[in-house]
Amino acid sequence: MSTNNTSYWTVFKNGVFGENPVFRLALSLCPAVAVTSGVKNGTLMGVAVLFVMVMVNATVSLIRNFINPKVRIPSYMFIIATWVTVTDLVMAAYARDVYKQMGLYIMLIVAFAIVLSRAEVFAMKNKLIPSIIDGAGMGMGFLLALALIGVFREFLGKGALWGFQILWADGKPVKPMLIAILPAGGFFAMGLIMGGLNWIDRRFFGGTGSGGGAH
C-alpha cells in the first residue's frame, strides 16, 4: 500500500510540477492566454479542464481494451466532446454569470492538446486509479498555471484581484500596465513566468526547462 501511495503521489506531482502542461510542456498556450485576463475566469476554466481531464482519463482507461487502435483518436475526441458537453451544460444551468463570459472557451476544451495527449500517452496504457490520478495532477497543474497567470495579468493590468480593486490613487483605480490584460500582454506575462520558473528549476534543481508547444 505504501508503495502504491508513493507511486500515485509521484504521478500527481509530475502533473503539477514535473510536466506542468503550461510551464513545462508548453501545451494549450493560446486558450491559456485567452481566459487569464482575470483570476476568476482563469481559475474557473482550470476547474473545468480539471474535471474534464479526470473524467476523460477514467473513461479511456475503463474501455481501453475495447478501443480499436485504428480509430483510437476519433474515440478519444468523442469521449472528450461528451464530457465537455456535460461541463458546458452544468455551467450554463448553475453558473450563468460565469458562463456568459467564458461559455465559448468551455467548448474549446475539446481541442486542448493536453486532454487528448494524456488520453493517448497515459490513460490508454494504465489502469483506472493511476489514470484518474494522472488526470487530476495534469488538471491541477493547468489550473494553478492559469490562476498564476491570471494573478499576474489582472494585478498589473487592472490593479485588482478576483474583480476587487486593490490599487488606488487619489480615489481613482490605478492600472499600472494596461497592456497586461491584452492578448499580447498575456503571452508576455506567460513568457516571463515560464522563464522565471525555468531559471529557478535549472539554477536550483538541475532541471532542463520547458519543452515544445501546441494548442
Contacts of 47 (CB under 8 A, 6+ apart): 143
Assess contact for 38 and 150: CB atoms under 8 A: yes
Average pLDDT value for residue range 181-210: 82
pLDDT single digits (tens) 106-118: 988 998 999 999 9
Looking at residue 210, its pLDDT comes to 58
Mean pLDDT, the chain, integer: 88
Question: For the purposes of burial, counting CB atoms within 10 Å of the CB of 188, is it exposed (0-12), middle (13-18) or buried (19 or more)?
Answer: middle
**pTM value?**
0.90
Mean pLDDT to the nearest integer, 179-193 = 88
- The predicted-structure confidence for 110-167, as pLDDT tens digits, reads as follows 989 999 999 999 999 999 999 999 999 999 999 999 999 999 999 999 999 988 999 9
pLDDT at 50 over 80: yes
Determine the average pLDDT of the residues in 23-39: 87
Residue 2 has pLDDT above 50, yes or no: no
In 3D space, the residue among 136, 152, 160 whose CA is nearest the CA of residue 185 turns out to be 152
